[in-house]
Amino acid sequence: MAHYTPPLRDMQFVLHELLHVEDELKRLPRHADVDADTINAVLEEGGRFAAEVLFPLNISGDAEGCTLDKTTHEVTPPKGFKAAYKQYVEGGWPALSCDPAYGGQGLPIVLNQCMYEMMNSANQAWTMYPGLSHGAYECLKAHGTDEQKKTYLPKLTSGEWTGTMCLTEPHCGTDLGMLRTKAEALPDGGYKLTGQKIFISAGEHDMADNIIHLVLARLPDAPAGSKGISLFVVPKFHVKADGSLGERNPIFCGALEHKMGIHGNATCQINLDGAHATLVGQPNKGLAAMFVMMNAARLGVGNQSLGLTEVAYQNAAAYAKDRIQMRSLSGPKDPDKPADTIIVHPDVRKMLLTARAYAEGGRALAIYIALLIDKELSSDDEAERKQCADTVALLTPIVKAFLTDNGWIATSHCMQVYGGHGYIHEWGMEQYVRDSRINMIYEGTNTIQSLDLLGRKVLGDNGAKLKAFGKLIADFVEAEGTDEAMQEFINPLADLGDKVTKLTTELGMKAFGNADEVGGAAVDYLRVVGHLVFAWLWARMAKEALAKQGSGDPFYTAKLHTARFYFAKLLPETASLIRTARAGVAPLMAMDEALF
């Protein structure tokens, strides 16, 4: 049956051998005392919580789902979820990377990143309950009033209260300029909100004492479109002056969505019936404030698929080494048994190595981004802070879209390894496929991420951010170009870097004549750039493994095999993607819509 082992060795490789986080953190005053031993100890304990507390609730939580009492509007999560959350809070995990000024532990984001990967592997549906709280914390920390910070941040930090993000409405998803939820000013300086929101993850539950909803709404005199959106904080229970909880605010769960996956998480239709709220930031500037939370959520969603990719791989690999079916094409490998284990078959290995390469490449990217965020927030060097911020902005849509596309591919492959058993609920694999599918949709569909990458992050600044990132790749290629052992990694990396430069220029020129060309090429373009980022990271990991393979540690041997597989079997996908991106928008738009 299903199992999960936290990938601590690979995390330590990325943290300490690839990225040298201890040295990087020592340059940041707030993290100067964080050493490798501290990092490893925290991750070991976090992995134990994920594997021993959360993982056993994953399949049962999926089978049971959530229950809504339509009379009281209260939602009960699956059995064991509330007790697990209590352990999570008592262990201090919500406060891991929060500011000590609000009761946080002040540890770096890279630790939080690794903790959340393990929790997502263990139980994505459960992890979504605390998952948005940190984003709400960051949003209020950046844009909240002193009173809002005092009221909400300590409780979000401790995990006593959780947070949500209320954007989508029945008639508008990504197009938030169309939202209709109304906000009316009240004599006490607050506001009254009326409207409906849908698809609100963890929108109602009994796991925490209060739920802090961040809600987008429109003031009566607001400009049309996205320029007329304001952001409000709406607590489930009113908070009294002394910090204690008062009466229920009229923000209720009207229904639970019946979903393909993540059954253990309460995805709610939320009704606001004159709910009392306070304004966050300036009137009509709510979307900019909410983007603090949205960008954090996009990185978090990429992390969800990373977690699922890892746990699906672990289970499929174990199954393939145990399940016997048929003989190897080149002759029996275990003649004493009636058949060979299926791991002898080349295509089974291809599916397993695809999942492994996407898991380990995704982990390297996710931790790299987390370290950049730590430096962006804490460096004394203004130029470094800006450079890190630019790189995070460039790579955020790749983390969200590339990792979630890869997660869908990987979980599907891993289910295939199981054959018919993969389709059966009790084995756990079909749940990973179902759970992973939402990650490509919410927090901005992957097409939206692709448009953001090509249209805004690349063409929007004439390629400045991409060129700066490309220089990192070019410098690595130049430094390693004379090492014969690295040629199998350096040559394809350099070649793809040149092709991305040419493709970007070509698409930019086309876009001047017809903006739809961006829409026609964006999805293919993001996947090409995603592979460029992965190829850079895999080449760097191969360099470390080559230097240490003489140690006799099989970890480095496996890392090299996986790197070679990635470059031989996955990276070549970029050739067809570049060709389809160059095919332009005409094949998509030429047919009259009446013919569809």
- 388-427 pLDDT tens trace: 999 999 999 999 999 999 999 999 999 999 999 999 999 9
**487-519 pLDDT, tens digit each:** 999 999 999 999 999 999 999 999 999 999 999
Q: What is the pLDDT of residue 226?
A: 87
Q: Is-contact 236 74, C-beta < 8 A?
A: no
Alpha-carbon gap, residue 114 to 119, rounded angstroms = 9
Residues in the chain: 596
The two tokens of residue 333 are 């490998």
**Closest to 144 (Cα-Cα) out of 212, 222, 198:** 212
- Does 443 participate in catalysis according to the annotation? yes
For residue 256, give the H/E element and its range.
Answer: strand 251-256
The two tokens of residue 27 are 């340059």
Alpha-carbon gap, residue 511 to 447, rounded angstroms = 17
8-136 shares its CATH topology with 162-291: no
**Degrees, nearest 5: CA angle 203-451-571:** 105
What is the sign, positive or negative, of the torsion defined by CA atoms of 101, 107, 110, 114?
Answer: negative
Helix, strand or coil, per DSSP, at residue 427: helix
**What residues of the chain score a pLDDT lower than 70?**
none
Alpha-carbon gap, residue 187 to 73, rounded angstroms = 29
pTM for the whole structure: 0.97
Alpha-carbon gap, residue 344 to 365, rounded angstroms = 31
CATH of domain 8-136: 1.10.540.10
Phi-psi region of 266 (alpha: psi -120 to 50; beta: other; left: phi over 0): beta
Helix, strand or coil, per DSSP, at residue 27: coil
**For the chain, how long is the longest CA-to-CA vector?**
84
The residues, ordered by sequence, that sit 6+ positions from 510 with a Cβ below 8 Å of its Cβ are 517, 521, 584
What is the sign, positive or negative, of the torsion defined by CA atoms of 51, 57, 59, 61?
Answer: negative
For residue 194, give the H/E element and its range.
Answer: strand 191-201
Q: Is-contact 232 184, C-beta < 8 A?
A: no
Alpha-carbon gap, residue 546 to 487, rounded angstroms = 12
Alpha-carbon gap, residue 334 to 308, rounded angstroms = 32
The two tokens of residue 205 are 């539950």
Q: What is the pLDDT of residue 413?
A: 98
Q: Is-contact 543 364, C-beta < 8 A?
A: no
Q: How far is CA 590 from the centre of its chain?
A: 36
- Cα 419 to Cα 342, 356, 425, 429: the distances in Å are 11, 19, 13, 11
* Domain 162-291, classified CATH 2.40.110.20, yes or no: yes
* Strands 251-256 vs 267-280: parallel, antiparallel or unpaired: antiparallel
Q: What is the pLDDT of residue 113?
A: 96
The residues, ordered by sequence, that sit 6+ positions from 70 with a Cβ below 8 Å of its Cβ are none
Give the count of beta carbons closer than 10 Å to the beta carbon of residue 214: 28
Q: Is-contact 489 563, C-beta < 8 A?
A: yes
Q: Which DSSP letter does residue 220 get?
A: T
Alpha-carbon gap, residue 370 to 239, rounded angstroms = 33
In DSSP terms, 215 is beta-bridged to 166, 232
**Closest to 187 (Cα-Cα) out of 276, 92, 60:** 276
Q: How far apart are the first and last CA of the chain?
A: 45
Q: What is the pLDDT of residue 233?
A: 98
Phi-psi region of 276 (alpha: psi -120 to 50; beta: other; left: phi over 0): beta
The residues, ordered by sequence, that sit 6+ positions from 437 with a Cβ below 8 Å of its Cβ are 260, 261, 408
Task: Classify 294-587 by CATH class.
Answer: mainly alpha
Catalytic residue among 169, 204, 376, 443: 443
**Closest to 578 (Cα-Cα) out of 507, 490, 474:** 507
Q: What is the pLDDT of residue 175?
A: 84
Q: Which residues of 178-187 are buried (b: 16+ CB within 10 A; e: fewer)?
A: ebebbbeeee
**Closest to 373 (Cα-Cα) out of 272, 315, 456, 303:** 303
Domain boundaries, the chain: 8-136, 162-291, 294-587
In DSSP terms, 161 is beta-bridged to 210
Give the count of beta carbons closer than 10 Å to the beta carbon of residue 594: 5
Long-range CB contact pairs, 220-226, < 8 A, 24+: 220/182, 220/183, 220/184, 222/283, 222/284, 223/284, 224/177, 225/177, 226/176, 226/177, 226/287
